[in-house]
Chains A and B, each alone.
Chain A
Amino acid sequence: MGIVDSPPGYVTGGEIRFRGRDLLTLGREERRRVRGTGMAMIFQDALSALNPVMSVGAQLGEMFQVHRGMSRKAARAEAVELMDRVKIPAAASRVGDYPHQFSGGMRQRIMIAMALALEPDLIIADEPTTALDVTVQAQVMDLLAELQREYHMGLILITHDLGVVADVADTIAVMYAGRIVETAPVHHLYRAPAHPYTRGLLDSIPRLDHKGQELYAIKGLPPNLTAIPPGCPFHPRCPLAQDICRSERPPLHDVAPGRTSACHFWKETLDGAR
């Protein structure tokens, strides 16, 4: 979204196409317009993403004033309606409250309201419910799914929680050491992973529906991003690693229609080898 601070973060290459246009070649002004209308972002920590010294009504209203040129009064009315949409009880009487006066789940819903304000085509949600309790997480994810259907928005959900993605995603991309190592439709990925890292992750999480035996544990540690191993970055932890894995970085193979895997031995992995 063009909000990687530079420095320390640089985008050093590549293309990001959104409705056919490469965002990385857009000017600052154009990019700002895309942001907030074309796409919107939801962060993990609503408390640090919202302005603590501005009422939530004013923050929501500002979006309409700046991007839609609405009057202050109209913008406020719009803000109340949005808060209602994300199910903040008694929205009209709470529109003047500050972020810290809301519970964690309510703050997250207010951030969803901010993201929705300009009816974007795409929402990027980075760990949107990680800081929340499960019962509140269920409420927030349910709301997000409902609004997504209603507004026909795309949703990119970034999370470490394999349960949350199984519930909402159509397609999954698994990342390791800064790269995508596998993409697949959700049902295929969980039934038959094509990358040993995905497989290890799925095997290592305990189950709610039965007790199970000793957990499978991926050996070793996640890589240090300043010293990513050569060849396949997963090789020091991979049970299937061969010599070729230490020297040659596996390309993203097409495994099946709509499926890719960055593993030299994706066939064996699909067949259940470990």
Chain B
Amino acid sequence: MRLLTHNMLSSNIKGVTNGFPLGIEVEKVIEKQVDFNPDFLRNMFAKVEWKALVDAARTMGYAELPEEADLSMLESDDFLKRFHHALLELHLEEGALVCPETGRKFPVNKGIPNMLLLEDEV
């Protein structure tokens, strides 16, 4: 699971009102290189919740993102490269996602989060 996906996931348990962002429990992180695409990053910047990304990246061991970011930074290659790495190249391979309200854990195995709910959670 890449951090872009983490940025799009919320806890969907019945009764939870603010299920975003999910906490991350790290067992294993892997890195996969992907092509650098500034246009894509500029496009995604508007869609991403920045603080959630910064915190998630830090949990995954990457602390190179600025706490705050604005559109002007998209001009900087250095910024885009960090954003690229955090958003697309870090993968949570093993671990869990944690509902911020209930603490319920959603396991991540082989890079795939399991967000299935039990009957009493739907």
B is bound to A: no
Residues of B within 8 A of A (CB): none
Residues of A within 8 A of B (CB): none
